[in-house]
Amino acid sequence: MTATLDRPVDEDELQAQFDATIAAEHRIEPRDWMPEGYRKTLIRQIAQHAHSEIIGMQPEGDWLLAAPSLRRKAILLAKVQDEAGHGMYLYSAAETLGADRADLTDKLIEGKQKYSSIFNYRTLSYADVGVIGWFVDGAAICNQVPLCRSSYGPYARAMIRICKEESFHQRQGYELLMTMMRGTPEQRAMVQDAVDRWWWPSLMMFGPPDDDSPNSAQSMAWGIKRHSNDELRQRYVDMSVPQAEVLGVTLPDPDLSYDPETGHYRFGQIDWDEFKRVVGGDGPANKERIARRRAARDDNAWVTEAATAYAAKHSGVAA
């Protein structure tokens, strides 16, 4: 791109322009010069986010055929389809940075790029669908609302649409749980069991603690991230505790208590060894998640080939 300019490009000048754009809280757009580190960090983060949306379809998708009513099935189907859409927006945002979508999928399947560790846990009952909506989509909202102000334009704009849909996801989950809590003792027990299994993994969704999160400071300086992992985790806990009370379930943490001095809920120690194990590939369902994604890529390769050939033919006509 720089070769098309009439005068020699001064890297310092470009860097100064970039820094001024960030300082003024303006957006960086795909046509703008950006430091290589900024581009790489964004591609890594957006790809990881896109992969999470796509892999995240699996644990809930497992219940599509077993939904207890037509209404529940329609809601779940809409939700899982939304997640596919989120993945598509995000892969498109990564493409504006020069990434290749097929290459990103290959990196996911080869284990070179990660996705949110929460999706490596299994859904054992229909209450899990509700708890995923309440906890996992709720945590996603905490993480993603600040990203609507991310410094990279295409990412920020994608997040605005995604957040609107995530808030529907959270609501449908909570509404399902409310309905179950008004049901039989067995249904209430199913909800409590799901809460017990998903609470701690949902706290891990915000990533490692701030003092063990090496890339955070740079991402915050670049305006890619707006709040630290621990800040967002605290926000999520503060939001969830009153919701649990209204629902009538107990969050599985004996250390959970309100601190009137800070106005926040204190909570117990997160099992970071479990987090590292699951992120590292040794969670309950890591292998099957990737195996299914691999099968989807390979079995549907003919569709990709046909669509690519069709697009090439039509661009040839246009040329």
Residues that bind Fe ion (CB under 5 A): 53, 83, 86, 137, 166, 169
Gyration radius (Cα) of the chain, Å: 21
| 166/253 with CB nearer Fe ion | 166
What is the smallest separation between the CB atom of 11 and Fe ion, expressed in angstroms? 38
What is the smallest separation between the CB atom of 138 and Fe ion, expressed in angstroms? 10
What is the smallest separation between the CB atom of 136 and Fe ion, expressed in angstroms? 7
What is the smallest separation between the CB atom of 86 and Fe ion, expressed in angstroms? 4
Strand locations in 187-317 (E) = 257-259, 264-266
Closest of 256, 264, 258, 245 to residue 174, by C-alpha: 245
CA pair distance 232, 314, nearest whole angstrom: 47
| 115/265 with CB nearer Fe ion | 115
Q: Give the count of alpha carbons within 13 A of 291, CB side only.
A: 4
What is the smallest separation between the CB atom of 88 and Fe ion, expressed in angstroms? 11
What is the smallest separation between the CB atom of 133 and Fe ion, expressed in angstroms? 8
| 137/253 with CB nearer Fe ion | 137
Question: Which residues are paired to 264 by β-bridges?
Answer: 259
| 14/148 with CB nearer Fe ion | 148
End-to-end CA distance of the chain: 22
| 83/253 with CB nearer Fe ion | 83
> Which residues touch 69 (CB under 8 Å, ≥6 apart)?
none
| 140/191 with CB nearer Fe ion | 140
CB burial readout 112-148, b (16+ within 10 A) else e: ebbbbbbbbbebebbbbbbbbbbbbbbbbbbbbbbbb
CA pair distance 135, 174, nearest whole angstrom: 9
